[in-house]
Amino acid sequence: RSKEQGRNCYLQFDSSMLEHARERMEMEIMLREALERKEFVLHYQPKINMLTGKMSGAEALIRWQKGENNLIYPNAFIQVAEETGLIVQIGELVIREACIRCKEWHDQGLTDLSISVNISASQFHKQDIEELIANILLETGLPPYALELELTESTVMKSPEEARVVLKNLKSLGLKISIDDFGTGFSSLSYLRHFPIDTLKIDKSFIMNLDSDHANAMIAKAVISLAHSLNLKVVAEGVENNEQMQFLDSEQCDYAQGYYVSRPLSWDKINEWIK
């Protein structure tokens, strides 16, 4: 703030900053405890192949089980985890658990199912991400083609040259790469095509308003057709009703994910759902 605004403004600014810092420190301590107590769990949201109508895989989504009736969603803690570097430990846990569970499906004969895991920017830009994932794949015995990593545009665009190398190394392991929340960042498909990616996930903000907002429908339509011309698969996230499903089907969208198919479910619940 400018000096002209006077002394009180400084005081106000300082105290809110202090409060913010204290909240973050408290959250950091709680997250460390949660790690020790193994309170992080994964929920799984199925993804449907629109051509066959069958489940093609699931996205692993982290939750913090803080006490019996208190499930905390990632938007409340992922950012602090990212800022404090705790995301590296938490993220490793997520990748391992997701691979173990998907391997269980494969061992039951469900070898078509894949698992998608969200990777945050600091996780992705950490030196040994390739080695970590290679080791987890070896350790769990999951075939690499069954693992898909979800990165946002901003993670890739943060330092594009480095990202291209890391993506190339990850791809050489045999896994899949998808761009999450596509359409909300500042990248373009003509730029992204220089990266070895397999799938675009159209952000749910476009899908949820398909019916009411003609512009969103046109954007979704254009993204699908452009992605296909670049040989990319398309997932629509946030599909909440049958009209959206019909529209996406008519536009030849490859996969659908959203509450209309199923909410994210605990491990036990998703296995009931599969049956």
Residue span 37-76 as binding mask against Mg ion, x where in contact by CB under 5 A, dash where not: ----------------------------------------
Q: What angle do CA 181, 183, 188 make, to 5 degrees?
A: 120
Give yes or no for residue 187 binding Mg ion (CB under 5 A).
no
147 binds, among ligand C2E, Mg ion, none (CB under 5 to 8 A by kind): none
Nearest to 77 by CA among 31, 25, 21, 18: 31
Measured distance CA(138)–CA(134) in Å, rounded: 6
What's the min distance (Å) between Cβ of 53 and ligand C2E? 18
Spell out the residues 6+ positions from residue 249 whose beta carbon is closer than 8 angstroms to its own: 50
Contact pick of 148, 180, 251, 254 for Mg ion (by CB under 5 A): 180
Phi, psi at residue 64, to the nearest 5°?
-110, 110
Give yes or no for residue 183 binding ligand C2E (CB under 6 A).
no
Q: Which residue has the tokens 């391997």?
A: 103
Tell me the CA distances in angstroms from 144 to 72, 127, 167, 179, 210, one per residue in order: 30, 20, 14, 18, 34
* Residues numbered 206-235 forming contacts with ligand C2E, rule: CB under 6 A: none
Strand partners, 114: 57
Give yes or no for residue 94 binding ligand C2E (CB under 6 A).
yes
Q: Which is nearer to Mg ion, 109 or 115 (CB)?
A: 115
Contact pick of 45, 114, 118, 216 for Mg ion (by CB under 5 A): 118
Give yes or no for residue 238 binding ligand C2E (CB under 6 A).
yes
Binding site residues, ligand C2E, CB under 6 A: 45, 61-62, 73-75, 78, 87, 91, 94, 118, 120, 150, 180-181, 204, 237-240, 258-259, 264
